[in-house]
Each structure stands twice: as C-alpha cells, then as structure tokens.
Amino acid sequence: MATYKEQNKLNVPHLRFPKFYGEWCVSTIGEQFDLYSGNTPSRLNKEHFDGNVNWITSGELKEHYISDTKEKISEDAATANNLKLLHPGTFVIAIYGLEADGVRGTGSITCKESTISQACMAFTQKGDVKNEFLYSWYKKHGNIIGIKYAQGTKQQNLSYDILEKFHIAYPSQDEQDKLIQFISLLDERIATQSKLIEDLKKLKSAIVEKVFCSPNQEYPMCRIEGFEQALSTYKMSDFSSRIATKNKDSKCSLVLTIAAQYGLVNQESFFNKSVASENLTGYYLLHKGEFAYNRSYSAGYDWGTVKRLDNYDEGVLSTLYICFKTNETIVDSDYLAYYFESTKWHRGLSDIAGEGARNHGLLNVSMADYFNTKHRFPVIEEQKTIAKILNAITEKERKATMLGECYQKQKQYLLCQMFT
C-alpha cells in the first residue's frame, strides 16, 4: 500500500507492491510508441484473402491475447497494400465504431505476426513503457477515452493525432514487470472461467438438439432411460392458448422486447431508448411464465424466436407478437422453454409458412396458422426429467457467469488502484 505521503504526490497509484517507491514518470503515448493503422485489401482480388497472414479487425479484440483471426490475407496482399507485419507482442486497439459499448476500450496483444484493418491502431514500443503495461493502462482508461475523445456523428472514431498526445504515467521496468505478471494472472483466471461458461453452453445446446424431435420424427436421437415409446404429435392449440389481454388503463408500464440471446427484456434498457407508443393500453399484457413469439427473423434465427417471461412479474408487448400460455398437463413449461431454444420447432412452422412467406422483416404467419403448427413431445414424466437435467446445467452456467462477472469487477477495481 502506498504511504499517505506518496498518495499526495503526483502519479503514484493507491496500491503498490512492496519494495517499490517513488513517483512514476510521465510521458506521452507518441513519445513511447510508434502508432500505425492498417487498411483493407481489395476484395475484388480473391487471392488477397487466400493466405495465412492474420488480418485483425476491431470486432476481434475481445481477449487479452489474439492468436487467430476470422480472415487471413496473403503476403502479396500485405505487400500490395503497404500493410505492416506487426511482430508478436504488439498492442492493438479498436478505433472505429466507439459509440458501441462492446467496442469502446477493447484491445489485445498479438501472439503471431499480424496485419490490421483501418479500424484498428497498433502500438509498437520505442521507449520505456512496455506493450503489456500499455494494455493494462488502456483497460483502465480506454472506455473513458472513447466516450470523451472519439469524433464523428453516426460513427465515432479515434485518430492518431488524438491518441499520440495522451499522457501516460509509468514506473520502473521492474515494477512494470511485476504489474504485468499480476494482471496476466487475473486474465488467465478470467479466461478459464469464460471457457467453463462456454463449455456449459455448448453442453446444453448439444443436449437440447438431441432430446427434442421435429414433427416428422417419432424418436429423438437420445432418450431418457426407461422411456421408449414414440413421441406424440400435438398442434400448438392442443397445449397452449392465445393471450389477447390488453393493458387496460396502462396498468403496466414495463415494455418488453424479445432479444434472441437474452429472452424477454426491458425494451428501453436493451435499446437505450424507448421505441414504444406513448399509449400502452393497446399492448398485450404478459405475466411471468407465459410465452411470446417474435415473427421477426434475423441472422441465425430464420424462423423468429419464442421466449418465456422469466425475469419480471409482468410486462407489455406490441401486438406484433403472438402471446400464449401453456396447458401444463400436456407440456411442462420448463421443457417447452428449452424446446424453443432448439431448432426442432422450425419444421412445423416451415410446413405452414414456407420459405417465401416473408414480408418486411416479418414471417407472414397468421395467428390461426401458428396455432395449427405441429410438434412432438414425450410423456409429461420424461419432459420433466429432461427439464430437470437442463435446469441443473443452466444453474451451473448462471453461477459460473456470476463468478466470472465478479472476476471482471475485481480486475477493474485493481486496475483503478494500481495504475494512475
């Protein structure tokens, strides 16, 4: 811990390792690093993107280290477009599209020789500040830099002229090494936790695809031991009923939207603005445990999405949604929620709608047609057993995610305390 006297000096962090004393030095980014931004080779020449040289884009700078890229270019493309081959250990940040939370403040250290797009900026050490130290410094300050200094209206960007002028305080080489080692240990723990979460998601997805059936299948790929009979066919109307209750007198003010990855969420929080009508009396009123179908299709969700309201006691939805509640003597609610996470229900919808039934971003599925779609379910006892297994994995995933978030907060706290 820094002494009271030290804390009142300029450029001394609140928290330091033992045996390190004295004020940190101050310099500018431009004095300590060579800055470089890349470009995009012409896609008209297909050979440009048929190579083995990493080509980093801003959306790939999520982790501490980047070893591979989605697209790779040829050495000829790099030469023809004057793209520098960055050495392993180079620090790279995103400089375009900083209006988005997921992009602002992101950066990674390269593990291999790489090139970068014009949406990235690379920093090559030429002074006393090490790239790994700059990485941690930017993890502390990058988000604020993006908010305060990015320029542009629709798309907010950072430039060479802005970045090179920032002042950075730094300690001796030995203290930098100690800090770098410590932050790397924190990042290793975060990476391990992230992998655990990802593995749990993959496990759940694999089970979901194997224990559910399309309406044209009698048996799933995997069965629960003790259950052997063929699955029964039901129309949607056999196990669910439409919800058409309106939000009388605007009783509920919480407007919901379906986010494919997150379920039914607060619309204003999700979009960072209200896109609902001022008068909510015409909206459907949905209660916890009830379902809604969003007929809007997007990449990866060709037949829209169905989600259950889990996070709120009630909320309202636009009449563009189809809302329904289930008959739990026929289908278990948890089982059905997981069923709609699979792709098995798509067949029943495609049999009615057809590939061409799309209109301005919406599937052209009528209310009557939707409730006529066919689905296959096992007996209620097997449904409950499947739901219990998947619920156990979901709970592990939830706890692992909470722990991962704690690790991230801990790292951010330590960055604030250990860097100026």
Same CATH fold, 232-377 and 172-213+379-420? no
For residue 381, the model assigns a pLDDT of 96
List the one residue out of 387, 390, 355, 350 whose CA is nearest residue 370.
Answer: 350
Contact 254, 315 (CB under 8 A): yes
For residue 10, the model assigns a pLDDT of 64
Q: Is 328 helix (H, G, I), strand (E, B) or coil?
A: coil
For residue 1, the model assigns a pLDDT of 46
- In the chain, domain spans: 22-170, 172-213+379-420, 232-377
pLDDT in tens, 61-85: 989 999 999 999 999 999 999 999 9
* Total Cβ atoms within 10 A of residue 35: 17
Q: Is 232-377 assigned to CATH 3.90.220.20? A: yes
What dotted CATH number matches 172-213+379-420? 1.10.287.1120
Residue 148: its H or E element? helix 131-149
Residues 6+ apart with CB under 8 A from 14: 1, 2, 7, 417, 418
For residue 357, the model assigns a pLDDT of 53
Segments of the chain with pLDDT less than 50? 1, 3-8, 355-356
Contact 400, 1 (CB under 8 A): no
What count of Cα atoms within 13 Å lies in the side-chain half-sphere of residue 378? 23
Q: Is 122 helix (H, G, I), strand (E, B) or coil?
A: strand
What dotted CATH number matches 22-170? 3.90.220.20
In the block, residue with structure tokens 């884009």: 57
Chain center to CA of 304: 19
Residues 315, 263: Cα–Cα separation, whole Å: 13
pLDDT in tens, 87-128: 999 999 999 988 777 788 899 999 999 999 999 999 999 999
